[in-house]
Homo-oligomer: A and B are copies of this chain.
Amino acid sequence: MAFEITKDLLENVTLFITQKKNKALSELFSEMHHADIAEVLDELSFDEAVYIIRLLDSETTSEVLMDVDDDVREKVLKQLSAKEIAEEIDELDTDDAADIIAELPEKRKQAVMQQIEDEEHAKEIVELLRYDENSAGGLMAKELVKVNENWTILQCVKEMRIQAEEVTRVHSIYVIDNSGKLKGRLSLKDLLMASTRAKIADVYIPKVDFVVVNDEAEDVANVMRKYDLEAIPVVDELGILVGRITIDDIVDVIKEEAEKDYQLAAGITQDVEADDTIWELTRARLPWLFLGLIGGIGAFLIMENFQEMFSDNAVLFFFTPLIAAMAGNVGVQSSAIIVQGLANDDLKGSINNRLIKEMLLAALNGVILAIVLFGFIWIYGGDFQKAFAISISLIVVIIVAGLIGTFVPLFLDKRGIDPAIATGPFITTSNDIFGILIYFWIAKVIIGF
């Protein structure tokens, strides 16, 4: 059932566009899901994409616009008039509409808002624009089904039929009191099973999970994942029901968070894809490489400082890449575990306990690895003292690297900085330098030159 973009399909589309065969194009796209159309547009040239957007009806294209790559959307929106954009906006749910409006330049924003025909819709979008995009308010939509606790089931079904017209998917029916405060929920199943004469107040479930408008997106995701929710109501500071968040938006939040962390760990500034331009990819990758360069220069300065040791202890210098690699690897391992624990909110206990545990763990790993390394140098014909010095240094370097890897993300998190930046090149580079410094220093003490 998977949709695949074939070369034939793309060639056909391009051909139809050059020949202005609008009917053939409409037919071709009428059978396709908007997410598939978006994939096709991502592959077309920009002019071709605008051509298709103008050709299809605004109900389809509004959804397509939500699904295309950000850069394609930005370019297409630039090409459309304020009125055309407003028509797309009219078709969208408030959350998607607000996302698109938020991407527009300030002047265009106002021009588009004034062209929106449905005043209620426009008001709701303006409300949503006030919230931070990474908060519950920024994720929620205004479309939901709510009933008053004082109604009967029959009244409720009647009202619901009207409200449901505007709501793509009904998950729960939220129950409010006369002042609009969230009181509970009613499942569609309960509604289906209850007698039509029953009163809402008698059948609704007063226990309902909810989030507050200013809760962070990541926390909303954690709550919905933990309790297996498909939708969650959002209330304001007074407890008034103001919107709801659906799981499909949360799936995107989870995916984006994971990708961001993964890219940071790999030394890539967030938000690039393999198909971005070389220039975009360079901007995402170069800063981290510069950091590595500076670290490498630091290592150079340290080694240069110890160079008088070389004539008698050349072997020490040949093991610096090993020391640097181990320091980097251990640091990344321990920071990654902490970052993941923080993201999933399942780190318990104090920072001190974490550091002690990491120290024991690193010491265990370090001793095992040091024994192997000692064995290698010994068998290879190195002398005992040097083999001993290198192995002891390795243990200390691994312990220090583990502690840095554990402490830095915890520290950043306490300071309100995203701990994920502490993984990848950041930790590798600092551990390289610390590692090499400790290594030469300990070797000097043991060998005593």
Contacts and interface: CB of A to CB of B under 8 A. Distances in A.
A318 interface: yes
A340 interface: yes
Contacts of A361: 278, 281-282, 285
Given A227-B35, A267-B329, A325-B428, A376 B288 contact: no
A46 interface: no
Interface stretch (A11-19, A52-60, A80-88, A188-196): A188-196
A170 B188 contact: yes
Q: How many copies of this protein are present in the complex?
A: 2
Contacts of A1: 209-212, 223
B300 A322 contact: yes
A365 B285 contact: yes
Given A35-B227, A364-B282, A321 B318 contact: no
A341 B69 CA distance: 14
B333 A321 contact: no
A348 B5 contact: yes
Contacts of A310: 310, 314
A184 to B, nearest CB: 14
A282 B366 CA distance: 10
Contacts of A436: 321
Nearest to A252: B225
Interface stretch (A109-117, A197-205, A291-299): A291-299
A399 interface: no
Given A266-B265, A282-B364, A288 B318 contact: no
Contacts of A230: 169, 230, 247-248
Nearest to A433: B321
A242 interface: no
A129 interface: no
Interface residues of A, number: 111
Interface stretch (A120-128, A147-155, A253-261): A253-261
Contact of A227 (B33, B193, B226, B273): B33
Contact of A341 (B274, B317, B325): B274
Contacts of A324: 321, 324-325
A326 interface: yes
B329 A288 contact: yes
Contacts of A262: 258, 261-262, 265, 336, 340
A323 interface: yes
A50 interface: no
A289 B365 contact: yes
A321 B337 contact: no
B289 A336 contact: no
B268 A333 contact: yes
Interface stretch (A21-29, A97-105, A367-375): A367-375
A399 B322 CA distance: 22
Interface string A297-308: 101100110010
B248 A251 contact: no
Contacts of A393: none
Given A33-B227, A160-B192, 5 more contacts: A224-B251, A225-B248, A230-B230, A254-B254, A266-B337
22 contacts: A169-B189, A170-B189, A230-B248, A247-B251, A258-B258, A266-B335, A266-B337, A266-B423, A268-B337, A272-B337, A274-B337, A274-B346, A275-B346, A282-B365, A285-B361, A296-B326, A299-B325, A317-B317, A321-B432, A324-B324, A325-B328, A328-B428
